[in-house]
């Protein structure tokens, strides 16, 4: 094999080595998972592995959890900045899980290892994975009542785990001593195996191709990504977008936290400014800067870099402005165990909607825009003694089937996954029941969950289970979720939000009496007799007694476009398939069906007309001081299929009725109208069971034809979403 030793770019060598580096990142992940064998890691793919350059710049990342790969460069930084280690040595491995030094939350343990060639530092390899326990107040890593990070268990700054190739058993023993689950020890060993294999493979690559070729490949790989993203940014319109998203309940109080994201795009640069975001929460919903950065990057990767390698080059194109001491950039010692499924994912949602609105303003990229996916995630944990005699603490992982956001040309995908995981996975009911003392009554798609729209958001799901022959009768439930009072999956271009989460239980049900009498099992909530109770979205451990039925549902995707524009046959099919109720078809889509499920064309036309009239009757003019909507672009520019600029390039028109709204320099909000209503105008399970009168639905529409231009979920006294496009 020839060995080019210079750093001169050679397309063939680059392509061969770039693929090799990607394969090595994947192989590292394989080595890790093989050793660990932990369920969270393998079934949930809750891990990442990566190769970095000598400064810790991400070069290539394995295929698993998007957010986790992004933290490894920060861990390298913390290691390099630490004064403890003096000189780094070949074969050293450092472990760290401190959210204030790079990790997202304490359960994610990360390890990094420097690679030396001829005694010079040339690269880093790293791995990160979610652990089953971290010590702390509660098993499993989520301590709902924690008020500072010290109550969340083990908190390691970069610590030397392997010294020049020798595993420090004392450090490993110390880690194992701090946690409740022996699998953690194997997991840490798995990371060591992973880094050792990665290091050997990279050294082998250098032997074969030369250090120059490796350097060239790493540099070029990063440059390629940043150049390609910059070129793409140049093609996208300039402007400023503001989006506001919320976290409900902090584990202590029923308080709302807002995340405000202002995206500014000028030429080839992209700035995410989070000024206006709420201060740190008392409880575990915060995330540190690591989580904030991971969230912004995830949103950018998915929305702008579908065909660009996810590495340091992307980070180079982005500025993040944020104040320490806020809910998505918390200050020590704020707790943040639940960061991934609150601070991080909600930051993704806010950034996502800014980005998708930018894509919508570009004809070339419009088809890449998506409404927000399942806006939150959750941790429904049940614990106790299983039928096999073991004690366990398990997370019910069905919520990994969140709904996908609608696209500009198609519905969102039903039960499509959670955005930060490229490979979602829900368990089989048979595996769950064979493993844990529970009996499921149903698990299905949730009707009316997908955000209504011309294209519907993907559906989420709902499930119910009861304790089933628990040998010690010690089953407990603990639940931590976000987005019960309001949905987070906001629609696009007039599409409605998807559903919110809901958790509840029915105490003392008659299930087992029914079985004794040979009756059928209930398969819908309203068939179950019992005392119904809605649970807080974050609560402490509560007993699950035999006969109690617990149920919950998770979030679906947002819709695209005004539901009145949905093809009526698709809507009828949705009703026949149970995706949309007859009531919502009528009330939200304006589609009237005959008894056999076919469309009553005439009645539908009338109904849709009436809804438009009702909207105009309920509409008020907009106080435009607090926000704006400006579409200032070249002639014929389109914003999705709701607004356009005419051939002469003077004015903005409504795409539905061709009504001239205003001059393109004007604030459209002065010429549009809004309807403020309860969230349930978007459908059932939109937070009505958790309502404190704080949120409402803001439907902005054309003053002439009442077609929806944008539908927002807004909090009293909070900043409003805003948009200003200035394209040339």
Partner 1 sequence: MYTLSVDIGGTFTDCVAINEVDGSVITRKTLTSPHDLLEGVFQGLDQIADALKITTPDFLGSVGRFVHATTQSSNAIFSRSGAKTAVITTKGFADTLLIMRATGRVAGLSVFERHHYRNTDKPAPIVDERNIFELNERIDHNGTALVSPKESEIREIANKIKTESYQAVAVCLLFSHKNHDHEAFVGETLRKELPGCFISLSYEVAPVIGEYERSTTTLFNAYVGELIKSYLSRLEKKLQKSGFNEKLLVVQSNGGVAMAAQTIPVMTIESGPAAGIVGTARAAKQLGLENIIATDVGGTTFKVGIINNGDWSYTKETVINQYQLRLPMIDVASIGAGGGSIAWLDSERLRIGPRSAAADPGPACYSNGGTEPTVTDADVVLGYISPDRFLFGDMHLDYELAYNSINNIAEQLFNGDVIAAAAGIRRVVDSQMADLIRKTTLERGYDTREFVMMAYGGAGPTHVCSYGPQAGCQEIIIPSEATVHSALGAAMTDIRFSLSYSDPMVLPKPAKVFEKIYTNLENQGRELLKEAKISERDYSFLRWVEARYRRQVHTIRIPVIGNLSEAGLKIIAEDFHEEYERLYGIGTGLKEAGIELINYGVEVVGHTKKIDPQVIPLLKKNPIPRLKRQAYCNVQRKLIDTAVFEGDKLGAGSIITGPAIIEQPGTTVVILSGWQGDVDKFGNIHITEIIT
Residues in 658-717 at the binding interface with partner 1, rule: CB under 8 A: none
Greatest alpha-carbon pair distance for the chain in Å reads 81
- Looking at 94-102, 227-235, 540-548, 701-709, which segment touches partner 1 (CB under 8 A)? 227-235
Instruction: Look at the chain and count its residues.
Output: 728
Report the residue number, 85 or 442, with the smaller CB distance to partner 1. Answer: 442
Report the residue number, 286 or 386, with the smaller CB distance to partner 1. Answer: 386
Residue whose token pair is 């435009």: 624
Out of 137, 176, 476, 521, which residue is the one contacting partner 1 (CB under 8 A)?
521
Taking residue 321's Cβ as centre, other Cβ atoms within 10 Å add up to 11
Q: Least CB distance from residue 651 to partner 1, whole Å? A: 31
User: Which residues touch 255 (CB under 8 Å, ≥6 apart)?
Assistant: 249, 281
Note the Cα 36 to chain centre separation in Å: 25
Distances (CA, A) of 596 to 456, 484, 572, 602: 23, 35, 10, 16
Q: Least CB distance from residue 193 to partner 1, whole Å? A: 6
Report the residue number, 226 or 707, with the smaller CB distance to partner 1. Answer: 226
- Looking at 250-258, 420-428, 448-456, 492-500, which segment touches partner 1 (CB under 8 A)? 420-428
Q: Is the CB of residue 703 less than 8 Å from the CB of residue 648? A: no
DSSP letter at 416 equals -
Question: 3-class SS at 477?
Answer: strand
Residues 360-389 close enough to bind partner 1 by CB under 8 A:
367-368, 370, 387-388
269-273 and 318-321 strand pairing: parallel
Q: Least CB distance from residue 39 to partner 1, whole Å? A: 5
Report the residue number, 300 or 701, with the smaller CB distance to partner 1. Answer: 300
Q: Which residues of 406-437 are buried (b: 16+ CB within 10 A; e: fewer)?
A: bbbeebbbbbbbbbbbeebebbebeebeebbb
CA gap 158, 149 in Å, rounded: 17
Report the residue number, 30 or 507, with the smaller CB distance to partner 1. Answer: 30
DSSP string, 288-351: -HHHHHHHHHHHHHHHH-TTS--SHHHHTTEEEE--TTBTTB--TT---TTGGGTHHHHHHHHH
Query: x/- string (CB under 8 A) for partner 1, residues 1-30?
Result: --------x-xx-xxx--xx-xx--xx--x
- Looking at 120-128, 499-507, 516-524, 681-689, which segment touches partner 1 (CB under 8 A)? 516-524
**266 contributes a contact to partner 1 by CB under 8 A:** no
**581 contributes a contact to partner 1 by CB under 8 A:** no
Report the residue number, 16 or 726, with the smaller CB distance to partner 1. Answer: 16
Q: Least CB distance from residue 434 to partner 1, whole Å? A: 5
**401 contributes a contact to partner 1 by CB under 8 A:** yes
Distances (CA, A) of 439 to 190, 254, 443, 507: 34, 31, 11, 15
Q: By C-alpha distance, which of 605, 702, 617 is closest to 657? A: 702
Q: Facing residues of 537 across strands?
A: none
Q: Facing residues of 162 across strands?
A: 93, 167
Out of 224, 254, 703, 705, which residue is the one contacting partner 1 (CB under 8 A)?
224
Residues 24-63 close enough to bind partner 1 by CB under 8 A:
26-27, 30-31, 34-39, 42-43, 63
Report the residue number, 188 or 284, with the smaller CB distance to partner 1. Answer: 188
**431 contributes a contact to partner 1 by CB under 8 A:** yes
- Looking at 78-86, 162-170, 511-519, 641-649, which segment touches partner 1 (CB under 8 A)? 511-519
**147 contributes a contact to partner 1 by CB under 8 A:** no
Out of 130, 265, 445, 686, which residue is the one contacting partner 1 (CB under 8 A)?
445
Q: Which residues of 182-198 are buried (b: 16+ CB within 10 A; e: fewer)?
A: ebbbebbbbbbbbbbbb
Out of 207, 576, 582, 635, which residue is the one contacting partner 1 (CB under 8 A)?
576
Out of 316, 440, 638, 660, which residue is the one contacting partner 1 (CB under 8 A)?
440
Residues 295-334 close enough to bind partner 1 by CB under 8 A:
301-302, 305-307, 310
Residues 228-247 close enough to bind partner 1 by CB under 8 A:
228, 231
- Looking at 266-274, 417-425, 662-670, 692-700, which segment touches partner 1 (CB under 8 A)? 417-425
Site size toward partner 1, by CB under 8 A: 87
Out of 384, 417, 450, 497, which residue is the one contacting partner 1 (CB under 8 A)?
417
Q: Least CB distance from residue 31 to partner 1, whole Å? A: 8
In three state form, how does the secondary structure of 141-157 look? CCCCCCCCHHHHCCCCC
Q: Least CB distance from residue 155 to partner 1, whole Å? A: 25
CA gap 529, 469 in Å, rounded: 20
**474 contributes a contact to partner 1 by CB under 8 A:** no
Report the residue number, 421 or 722, with the smaller CB distance to partner 1. Answer: 421
Residues 186-205 close enough to bind partner 1 by CB under 8 A:
186, 189-190, 193
Q: Least CB distance from residue 435 to partner 1, whole Å? A: 8
Q: Is the CB of residue 695 less than 8 Å from the CB of residue 486? A: yes
- Looking at 314-322, 427-435, 562-570, 667-675, which segment touches partner 1 (CB under 8 A)? 427-435
User: Which residues touch 174 (CB under 8 Å, ≥6 apart)?
Assistant: none
Out of 433, 646, 660, 689, which residue is the one contacting partner 1 (CB under 8 A)?
433
CA gap 113, 311 in Å, rounded: 18
CA gap 293, 347 in Å, rounded: 9
**183 contributes a contact to partner 1 by CB under 8 A:** yes
Phi, psi of 567 (to 5 degrees): -55, 125
Report the residue number, 266 or 434, with the smaller CB distance to partner 1. Answer: 434
CA gap 277, 323 in Å, rounded: 9
């Amino acid at each position: 094999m020839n060995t080019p030793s210079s750093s001169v770019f050679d397309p063939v060598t680059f392509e061969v080595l770039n693929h090799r580096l990607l394969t090595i990142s994947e192989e590292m992940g394989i080595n890790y998972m093989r050793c660990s064998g932990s369920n969270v890691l393998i079934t949930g793919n809750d891990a990442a592995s990566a190769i970095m350059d000598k400064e810790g710049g991400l070069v290539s990342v394995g295929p698993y959890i998007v957010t986790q790969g992004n933290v490894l460069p920060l861990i390298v930084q913390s290691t390099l900045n630490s004064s403890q280690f003096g000189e780094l040595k070949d074969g050293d491995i450092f472990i760290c899980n401190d959210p204030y030094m790079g990790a997202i939350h304490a359960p994610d343990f990360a390890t990094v290892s420097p690679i030396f060639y001829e005694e010079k530092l040339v690269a880093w390899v790293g791995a990160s994975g979610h652990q089953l326990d971290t010590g702390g107040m509660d098993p499993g890593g989520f301590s709902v009542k924690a008020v500072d990070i010290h109550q969340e268990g083990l908190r390691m700054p970069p610590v030397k785990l392997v010294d020049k190739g020798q595993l420090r058993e004392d450090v490993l023993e110390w880690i194992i001593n701090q946690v409740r689950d022996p699998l953690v020890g194997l997991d840490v060993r798995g990371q060591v195996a992973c880094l050792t294999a990665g290091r050997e493979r990279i050294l082998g690559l250098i032997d074969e191709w030369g250090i120059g070729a490796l350097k060239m490949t790493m540099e070029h790989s990063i440059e390629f990504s940043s150049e390609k993203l910059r070129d793409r940014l140049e093609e996208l319109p300039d402007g400023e977008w503001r989006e506001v998203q919320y976290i409900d309940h902090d584990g202590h109080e029923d308080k709302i936290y807002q995340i405000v994201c202002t995206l500014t795009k000028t030429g080839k640069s992209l700035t995410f400014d989070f000024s206006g975001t709420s201060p740190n929460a008392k409880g575990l919903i915060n995330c540190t800067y690591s989580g904030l950065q991971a969230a912004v990057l995830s949103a950018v990767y998915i929305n702008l870099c579908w065909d660009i390698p996810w590495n340091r080059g992307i980070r180079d194109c982005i500025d993040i402005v944020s104040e320490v001491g806020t809910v998505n950039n918390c200050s020590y010692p704020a707790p943040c165990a639940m960061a991934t499924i609150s601070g991080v994912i909600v930051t993704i949602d806010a950034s996502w909607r800014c980005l998708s609105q930018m894509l919508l303003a570009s004809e070339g990229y419009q088809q890449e825009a998506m409404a927000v996916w399942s806006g939150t995630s959750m941790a429904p944990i049940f614990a106790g003694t299983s039928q096999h005699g073991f004690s366990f603490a398990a997370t019910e992982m069905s919520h990994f089937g969140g709904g996908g956001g609608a696209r500009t040309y198609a519905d969102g995908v039903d039960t499509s996954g959670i955005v930060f995981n490229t490979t979602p996975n829900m368990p089989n009911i048979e595996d769950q029941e064979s493993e844990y003392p529970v009996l499921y009554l149903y698990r299905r798609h949730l009707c009316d969950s997908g955000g209504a729209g011309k294209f519907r958001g993907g559906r989420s799901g709902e499930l119910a289970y009861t304790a089933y022959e628990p040998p010690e009768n010690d089953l407990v439930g603990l639940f931590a979720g976000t987005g019960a009072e309001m949905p987070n999956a906001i629609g696009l271009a007039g599409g409605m939000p998807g559903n919110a989460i809901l958790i509840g239980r029915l105490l003392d049900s008659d299930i087992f009496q029914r079985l004794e009498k040979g009756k059928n099992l209930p398969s819908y909530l309203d068939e179950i007799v019992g005392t119904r109770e809605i649970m807080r979205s974050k609560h402490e451990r509560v007993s699950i007694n035999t006969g109690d039925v617990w149920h919950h549902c998770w979030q679906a995707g947002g819709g695209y476009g005004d539901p009145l524009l949905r093809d009526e046959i698709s809507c009828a099919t949705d009703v026949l398939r149970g995706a949309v109720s007859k009531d919502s078809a009528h009330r939200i889509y304006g589609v009237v069906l005959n008894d056999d499920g076919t469309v009553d064309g005439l009645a539908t036309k009338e109904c849709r007309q009436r809804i438009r009239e009702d909207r105009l009757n309920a509409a008020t003019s907009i106080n435009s001081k607090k926000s704006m909507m400006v579409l200032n672009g070249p002639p014929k520019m389109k914003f999705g299929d709701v607004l356009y600029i005419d051939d002469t390039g003077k004015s903005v028109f409504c795409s539905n009725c061709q009504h001239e709204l205003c001059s393109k320099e004007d604030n459209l909000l002065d010429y549009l109208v809004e309807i403020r209503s309860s969230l349930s105008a978007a459908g059932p399970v939109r937070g009505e069971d958790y309502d404190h009168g704080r949120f409402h639905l803001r439907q902005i529409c054309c003053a002439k034809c009442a077609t929806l231009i944008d539908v927002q979920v807004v909090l009293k006294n909070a900043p409003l979403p805003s948009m200003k496009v200035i394209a040339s």
